[in-house]
């Protein structure tokens, strides 16, 4: 698999490794970017689990709540210009409200649901594409719910009310009142926006992700030259550290930078005189996991002139 200068640039941005190290890693991986990332990390040339805040697609994330239920929806567009369009924003806002009453997180079912202004959500989306003149897609949705308590929304750097690029929902199960749960939920939501947890707790982390970390740790341990039993402890230590740093409940609360989130919730419950359980959360960052194709504008113009 061949690679380009852009691939080298992307690898440098993701890992912080030097250009020559990135080129060598891409040579050895046959141009496979993910394999190159793993190789650099195994050699200690990349920052472990470095997270990029760059988005790979445009559009908006919408959030909506109604007491004990909340939903986040992502709608993509080709350019940020469309994301600022009032028609597009109105569509995302109304679609998110429709999603709030949906029975599942099935995007196809959401497209078939009735749109407030007539027709279906899918038909309204098609009309948007025709009138705005740019491709748009309903990408994903996720609902959280508690039987008793509150779902608290948070939009980081909102582009409009309940719309933006990073939407968060925090589901708190408790008999405590909204005067307790709302400020607590907002603080936790701000932590989630900043800390990017991958799961509620270690048990819910993606097994494939854990296995990937284990393999990387094993390669590092093998290079240490230490006895096998020591290497095993090194691997387990590295995996446990990864799990602790990426599970919400065990992450250190960004507001005080010392207390695990689980303890923050427990203490809030004690002070309120009612147990509080952080049951679930959603963090949608616009475009995460989507690769945006970068074009060479000058080359496109030259090609158009020639042909």
Reported as a single tens digit per residue, the pLDDT across 103-158 is 999 999 999 999 999 999 999 999 888 888 788 899 999 999 999 999 999 999 89
C-alpha distances (whole Å) from 146 to each of 23, 169, 170, 248, 269 are: 49, 12, 10, 18, 16
What lies within 8 Å, CB to CB, of 190 at 6+ separation is 154, 156, 168, 254, 255
pLDDT, tens digit (0-9, with 9 covering 90-100), for 213-249: 999 999 889 988 899 899 899 999 999 999 999 999 9
pLDDT category at 46 given cuts 50, 70, 90 is: low
pLDDT, tens digit (0-9, with 9 covering 90-100), for 168-200: 999 999 999 999 999 999 999 999 999 999 999
- DSSP line for 208-229: HHHHHHHHHHHHHHHHHT--HH
Q: What is d(CA 24, CA 210) in angstroms, rounded to the nearest whole number? A: 26
Q: What percent of the chain has pLDDT over 90?
A: 65
Q: Residue 35 has what pLDDT?
A: 87
pLDDT category at 295 given cuts 50, 70, 90 is: very low
- Average pLDDT for residues 25-51, to the nearest whole number? 76
Enter the tokens of residue 188: 């936790």
**Closest listed residue to residue 175, CA positions, set 146, 145, 200, 144:** 146
pLDDT category at 252 given cuts 50, 70, 90 is: very high
Q: Residue 50 has what pLDDT?
A: 43
What are the chain's domains? 1-50 (1.10.8.10), 58-165+280-285 (3.30.479.20)
Which residues are registered as beta bridge partners of 233?
none
Length of the chain equals 307
- Average pLDDT for residues 266-292, to the nearest whole number? 92
Q: Which helix (H) or strand (E) holds 154?
A: strand 149-156
Q: Which residue shows structure tokens 């990349």? A: 46
Q: To 5 degrees, how large is the angle CA 106–CA 110–CA 113?
A: 140
Enter the tokens of residue 72: 């986040």
Q: What is d(CA 19, CA 278) in angstroms, rounded to the nearest whole number? A: 43
- Average pLDDT for residues 195-217, to the nearest whole number? 94
Q: Residue 47 has what pLDDT?
A: 52
End-to-end CA distance of the chain: 29
Q: What 3-state DSSP class applies to 250?
A: helix
Q: What is d(CA 94, CA 96) in angstroms, rounded to the nearest whole number? A: 5
Flag whether pLDDT at 18 surpasses 80: no
Q: Are 44 and 220 in contact (CB under 8 A)?
A: yes
Dihedral pair phi/psi, residue 32, rounded to 5°: -75, 110
**Closest listed residue to residue 46, CA positions, set 68, 77, 24, 79:** 24
Q: Mean pLDDT score of the chain, rounded to an integer?
A: 88
Q: Are 74 and 96 in contact (CB under 8 A)?
A: no
**Closest listed residue to residue 59, CA positions, set 113, 124, 129:** 129
Q: Are 58 and 77 in contact (CB under 8 A)?
A: yes
Flag whether pLDDT at 34 surpasses 90: no
């Amino acid at each position: 698999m061949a690679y380009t200068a852009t691939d080298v640039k992307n690898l440098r941005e993701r890992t912080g490794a030097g250009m020559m190290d990135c080129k060598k890693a891409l040579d050895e991986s046959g141009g496979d970017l993910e394999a190159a990332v793993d190789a650099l990390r195994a050699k200690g040339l990349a920052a472990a689990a470095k997270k990029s805040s760059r988005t790979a697609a445009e559009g908006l994330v919408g959030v909506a709540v109604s007491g004990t239920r909340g939903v986040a929806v992502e709608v993509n567009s080709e350019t940020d210009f469309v994301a600022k369009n009032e028609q597009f924003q109105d569509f995302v806002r109304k679609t998110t409200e429709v999603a709030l009453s949906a029975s599942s997180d099935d995007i196809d079912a959401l497209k078939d649901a009735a749109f407030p202004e007539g027709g279906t959500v899918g038909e309204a989306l098609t009309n948007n594409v025709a009138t705005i003149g740019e491709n748009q897609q309903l990408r994903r949705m996720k609902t959280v719910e508690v039987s008793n308590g509150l779902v608290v929304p948070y939009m980081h750097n909102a582009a409009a009310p309940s719309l933006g690029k990073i939407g968060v929902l925090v589901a708190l199960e408790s008999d405590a009142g909204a005067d307790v749960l709302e400020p607590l939920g907002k603080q936790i939501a701000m932590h989630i926006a900043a800390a990017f947890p991958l799961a509620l707790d270690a048990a819910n982390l993606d097994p494939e992700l854990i296995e990937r970390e284990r393999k990387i740790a094993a390669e590092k341990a093998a290079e240490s030259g230490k006895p096998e039993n020591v290497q095993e402890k090194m691997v387990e230590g590295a995996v446990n550290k990864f799990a602790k740093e990426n599970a919400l409940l065990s992450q250190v609360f960004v507001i005080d930078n010392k207390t695990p989130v689980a303890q923050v919730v427990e203490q809030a419950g004690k002070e309120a005189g009612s147990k509080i359980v952080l049951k679930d959360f959603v963090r949608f960052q616009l475009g995460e996991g989507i690769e945006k194709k970068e074009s060479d504008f000058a080359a496109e113009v030259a090609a158009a002139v020639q042909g």
